[in-house]
Structure 1
Amino acid sequence: MLYRLPEYIDPLQLADNRGELKGQIPVSGLDRLNDLLIADTGSVTVALFFGREGRLPKIEGTLETELNLCCQNCLQAVVWPVKHSVKLGIVKTIEQANRLPEDFEPLLINTDTVFLKEIIEDELLLTLPTYPKHPYDCLALHKDIKNSDTDTGQTHKKNPFSILANLKNTGDLNGSTKK
């Protein structure tokens, strides 16, 4: 069963209490991520587990969603499925971050409470490809569709510069008949 997620969390207190957060957050609420999406539909399923590994407070879990990105080849929507594993070590200083085990990423906190949405958004931004593309040759597909449209008897558009050719032939540029 999915529960409502809190807006702010105290990650150290949750780690001490072995807390867990499960729920969904709408994609439309992730402002920085929305700038990169064609559509902000759907939601992110969140399952985060807090605890300690020795003295290290940690967050582990998964984020699952489908994002609508813009294909960099054809500029059409491409659905990008995300199933991301989260493994964060909660630290307060850069020195602590440098001592984290290799399989942990640092979550640097300055205050007791943290905006949960920012953690989720940061993790999703890290999963995005630099150049999202369809897994197939979408340009060839769109070219074939365009060619089939012209083969079905569609008229060609008139060249907007054809009027300039007529002006050149008559020698009438701005009312001047200079030769």
Structure 2
Amino acid sequence: MTVKRLYRYHFLIMLDHLPDLLDPFEFADKKRRIRGAYRLLAMDRVRDLLLSPEGDAEVELEFRREGRHAVVAGQITAELTLQCQCCLERLSWPVRTEVRLGIVRSIDEAKRLPDDLEPLLVESEAAVKPMDIVQDELVLAIPIIPQHRSCALPWRGDATERPAHPFAALAQLKKNLS
């Protein structure tokens, strides 16, 4: 291990609990990493989208500098319980999402971020709730129409199996009357 590497790891601090608020720029400057879990029940924006808000979201986030940009990167893992929109039964939805955000203070800064970074806009008070980052990522991971792979809708087969148009009978009746 080189001296440079020893110096780098000397300042890498791992927090095993998730703070309620943090200054992302300070955390990036100090190369801080946080790890822990949030209860799904405590996440108001996610809880309302779930059939059952049981379980946790495991979080590991690293704050660092990449050039002139403050960055938060890591992953979020959770097992969400959704409702299948075809059969209305429970649907287990595993989530493992990668987080890669550029921390910015304005829209102009966001426009200057590299393409591989999504902006995380921080207001003037420079405090961020890590739970908000987790909730945003989980909401994005939930499909618009959750359904089991085995639930087959009638129109999912080939074109010959498609059901008749609901107004086909009316069209035929109209044609017969004319």
8 Å Cα contact 2:15/2:33 also seen in 1: no
- Whether 1:72 and 2:63 are equivalent positions in the alignment is no
Gaps of at least 5 residues in structure 1 are 141-179
- The answer for the alignment partner of 1:124 in structure 2 is 138
The normalised TM-score by structure 1 is 0.75
Paired with 2:15 and 2:83, the residues of 1 have a C-alpha distance of 30
- Per the TM alignment, residue 77 of structure 1 is displaced from its structure 2 partner at its CA by 1.1
- Per the TM alignment, residue 28 of structure 1 is displaced from its structure 2 partner at its CA by 0.6
Match of 2:67 among 54, 63, 72: 54
Match of 1:134 among 124, 133, 148: 148
- Per the TM alignment, residue 139 of structure 1 is displaced from its structure 2 partner at its CA by 7.2
Paired with 1:138 and 1:65, the residues of 2 have a C-alpha distance of 26
Q: Secondary structure at the match of 1:68?
A: strand
- Per the TM alignment, residue 9 of structure 1 is displaced from its structure 2 partner at its CA by 1.1
**Residues 45-97 of structure 1: per-residue CA shift (max 9 Å, x gap):** 10100101101000000000100011110111100000000000000010111
Paired with 1:2 and 1:30, the residues of 2 have a C-alpha distance of 21
- Whether 1:93 and 2:106 are equivalent positions in the alignment is yes
Match of 2:54 among 10, 35, 41: 41
Paired with 2:153 and 2:88, the residues of 1 have a C-alpha distance of 10
8 Å Cα contact 1:28/1:34 also seen in 2: yes
- The answer for the alignment partner of 2:40 in structure 1 is 27
- The answer for the alignment partner of 2:29 in structure 1 is 16
Paired with 1:35 and 1:27, the residues of 2 have a C-alpha distance of 10
8 Å Cα contact 1:3/1:24 also seen in 2: no
The normalised TM-score by structure 2 is 0.75
Match of 1:113 among 127, 132, 137: 127
Q: Which runs of 4+ in 1 moved over 4 A?
A: none
Gaps of at least 5 residues in structure 2 are 1-13, 155-178
- Aligned residues, how many? 140
Identity, in percent, stands at 41
Q: Quick check: which has more Rg, 1 or 2?
A: 1
- Per the TM alignment, residue 137 of structure 1 is displaced from its structure 2 partner at its CA by 2.3
Paired with 2:98 and 2:131, the residues of 1 have a C-alpha distance of 16
Paired with 1:19 and 1:4, the residues of 2 have a C-alpha distance of 12
Q: Secondary structure at the match of 2:113?
A: coil
Paired with 1:132 and 1:121, the residues of 2 have a C-alpha distance of 18
- The answer for the alignment partner of 1:5 in structure 2 is 18
8 Å Cα contact 1:72/1:133 also seen in 2: yes
